[in-house]
Amino acid sequence: MADIAPPAYRTFPIIPELKPGAMEGKGPFVAPDKINEALGFPGHLVDDWHDKAIAKMGDLLSRYRSLKVYMDACVHCGACSDKCHYFIGTQDPKNMPVARQDLMRSVYRRYFTLPGKLFPKLVGARDLTKEVLDEWFNYYHQCSECRRCSVFCPYGIDTAEVTMAAREILDSVGYGQKYANEIIGKVHKIGNNLGLPGPALNDTLEGLEEDVKDATGVDVRFPIDVKGAEVLLITPSADFFAEPHIDSLIGYAKVFHATGTSWTLSSMSSEAGNFGLFIGNYDQLRTIAMRIRQAALELGVKRIVVGECGHAWRVAYSFWNTLTGVGDGADPNDRFAQMLQKQLDHRYKQPSHICEFTWDMIQDERLVFDKSKNDKYVVTFHDSCNVARGSNMGGYPGGQFDIPRNIVRAVANNFVEMDSSTTYERTFCCGGGGGLLTDDLMDVRVKGALPRMEMLQQVKDGHGVNFMACICAICKAQFTKVLPIYGFDRKVVGGVHQLVSNAIQLGVK
């Protein structure tokens, strides 16, 4: 990895020149048979892949209005063409959102539209050849499904939807990605992305209780599988052992402790992340999410709270109600959803983000902070793509931006925003989202981080920023790896609840 040099910072606001083919053959590892078969996909590329892929595409076009409309509606206006961090970092024209979509749109036109069948050259239609399929595998795994392009598209075309469809087609013909499919297999088998078994999890939590006791002198509990607890916390499994993730887990526990909230984790459902989203597969998305429903029903909890994880929050906020009934407002005859919704306490939003929980408690004056504990930091906030563009907090537009910032301001004295062209809904992906957080994609990850690193450098130089808070496990892991390559300390990245943990005063109220 040491041989991957970061691209030079750009002088603003330059849009890079095209370097065709720059990222050819830079795709991820192909999943081996065992990993694919564990998810019910063909083990390797099937003989009749061409017909199967076209049939799958037809199937998806009939089930997803998004795909159908997005295939037709693009006018090649190019508004998105300079918006993707992977394009900016790699200069490969096929990483322009419109060009990435066209890898599939060209095939759509050839097989599903009259002009494409009659005059393929004229409308940019082409046959689905093995080269095209390889191109899909390569470039649809250089998209983090961050939706930044969709913000600027006059028709709202979301490349993430196209990428997901492409990955689902690839999986259906036995051409899956190793990283994402392997992780999904672990969730099915063990209950979390890291494959951390129950006993190991218990040990970790006991160790954490001791650590916090040593540091604060207070008995902060990390309960697991407690029936009848009020809150079920579903958090990314990285929170259990990765740095800096674990510091945020400690933060959540302290908030629960300080507010006297009874809470629990679940050993069966110890993962907020849902890589079913990344591979665009509804069945996988649903099956993984069902573990949360099951845990909630078994433990009899009243509230479900989700930890700091970007795509998990998108799945939880936007999809859990659809997939599993975690939410409100199901039809009275909808027995599947009602069964769970009757159990949940609807004075609170279901599910809630941990930031919503903490901010509510701060507003109710149930928490006391010593902000000076964070005085060593000048903090900035990185909006994670899935939170920023695929979810909400607080129930009003823009709440997902205000609430984490409100918390940061409540627990730290020094807060600085990064350039407004790269925050809120215009935020840039960390470069590792969407199932790309794997070493075999290190090149594209480093290059994709460029726009965020440029702006971080700007506030570091201008304001001495030395802490970039975020609420996403993937952002944290990606930046920890990428920051040193750009000349920053890896500890510059951390969680919002890490700052909460630093400043919170236990045993005061």
Partner 1 sequence: MSTLLAIFIYLSTLVFVVGLLQRIRDYAGTPAPLKIPTTPAPVTNGGVALRMVREVVFFESLFKGNLWTWVSGWLFHFSMLLVVLRHLRYFTDPVWGWVAFIQPFGIYAGITMLAGLLGLLARRIFVERIRYISTPSDILMLVLLIGIAASGLLMKFVGHPDVIMVKNYFLGLMHLSVHELPSNFVLYAHLSMVFTLLFIFPMSKLLHAPGLFFSPSRNQADNPREKRHIAPWAAKMESEK
What mask of x and - would describe binding to partner 1 in positions 412 to 451, judged by CB under 8 A?
Answer: ------------xx--------------------------
Least distance from C-beta 286 to partner 1, angstroms? 7
Interface residue with partner 1, options 36, 95, 150, 192 (CB under 8 A): 150
Least distance from C-beta 289 to partner 1, angstroms? 12
Our CB check for partner 1 shows the closer of 13 and 25 to be 13
Label residue 89 exposed, middle or buried (CB < 10 Å: 0-12, 13-18, 19+). buried
CB atoms within 10 A of CB 224: 18
Interface with partner 1, residue 61, by CB under 8 A: yes
Our CB check for partner 1 shows the closer of 184 and 285 to be 285
The count of residues interacting with partner 1 (CB under 8 A) is 78
d(CA 497, CA 250): 8
Q: What one-letter code names the amino acid at 63?
A: R
Helical H segments across 64-197, by residue range = 65-73, 85-90, 97-112, 114-118, 120-123, 130-139, 148-152, 159-172, 178-190
Interface residue with partner 1, options 21, 40, 78, 228 (CB under 8 A): 78
d(CA 74, CA 100): 12
What mask of x and - would describe binding to partner 1 in positions 352 to 381, judged by CB under 8 A?
Answer: ------------------------------
Interface residue with partner 1, options 30, 89, 132, 161 (CB under 8 A): 161
- Phi/psi of residue 335, each to 5°? -65, -40
Residues 271-310 that bind partner 1 (CB under 8 A): 282-283, 286
Residues in contact with 75: Cβ distance below 8 Å, sequence separation at least 6, in sequence order: none
Interface residue with partner 1, options 14, 25, 114, 347 (CB under 8 A): 114
Interface residue with partner 1, options 29, 64, 111, 241 (CB under 8 A): 64
Interface with partner 1, residue 81, by CB under 8 A: yes
3-state secondary structure of 469: strand
Our CB check for partner 1 shows the closer of 65 and 509 to be 65
Residue with tokens 């450098």: 457
Our CB check for partner 1 shows the closer of 103 and 437 to be 103
Least distance from C-beta 59 to partner 1, angstroms? 10
Interface residue with partner 1, options 24, 33, 219, 328 (CB under 8 A): 328
Could you write out the three-class secondary structure of 326-388? CCCCCCCCCHHHHHHHCCCCCCCCCCEEHHHHHHHHHHCCCCCECHHHHCCCCEEECCCHHHH
Interface with partner 1, residue 345, by CB under 8 A: no
Our CB check for partner 1 shows the closer of 222 and 359 to be 359
How is the beta sheet containing 263-264 ordered, strand by strand? Answer: 263-264, 231-234, 303-306, 352-353
Least distance from C-beta 39 to partner 1, angstroms? 17
Our CB check for partner 1 shows the closer of 109 and 141 to be 109
Interface residue with partner 1, options 349, 447, 460, 497 (CB under 8 A): 349
In 3D, which of 89, 116, 158, 80 has the Cα closest to residue 386?
Answer: 158
Strand partners, 30: 177
Interface residue with partner 1, options 30, 306, 388, 465 (CB under 8 A): 388
Tell me the CB-side half-sphere exposure of residue 485, using CA atoms within 13 A.
23
d(CA 276, CA 39): 11
Contact stretch for partner 1 (CB under 8 A) within 174-182, 217-225, 325-333, 468-476: 325-333
Our CB check for partner 1 shows the closer of 360 and 425 to be 425
CA-CA-CA-CA dihedral for 126, 161, 472, 351, to nearest 10: -160
Structure tokens at 362: 């701060």
Interface residue with partner 1, options 56, 293, 382, 389 (CB under 8 A): 389
Structure tokens at 246: 């674990």
Interface residue with partner 1, options 199, 260, 397, 462 (CB under 8 A): 397
Contact stretch for partner 1 (CB under 8 A) within 58-66, 410-418, 450-458, 491-499: 58-66
Interface residue with partner 1, options 29, 111, 155, 241 (CB under 8 A): 155
Residues 1-20 that bind partner 1 (CB under 8 A): 15, 17-18
Interface residue with partner 1, options 129, 207, 336, 508 (CB under 8 A): 336
Residue with tokens 């899935």: 386
Interface residue with partner 1, options 263, 313, 317, 488 (CB under 8 A): 317
d(CA 418, CA 325): 37
Strand partners, 233: 305
Least distance from C-beta 104 to partner 1, angstroms? 14
Residues 183-242 that bind partner 1 (CB under 8 A): none
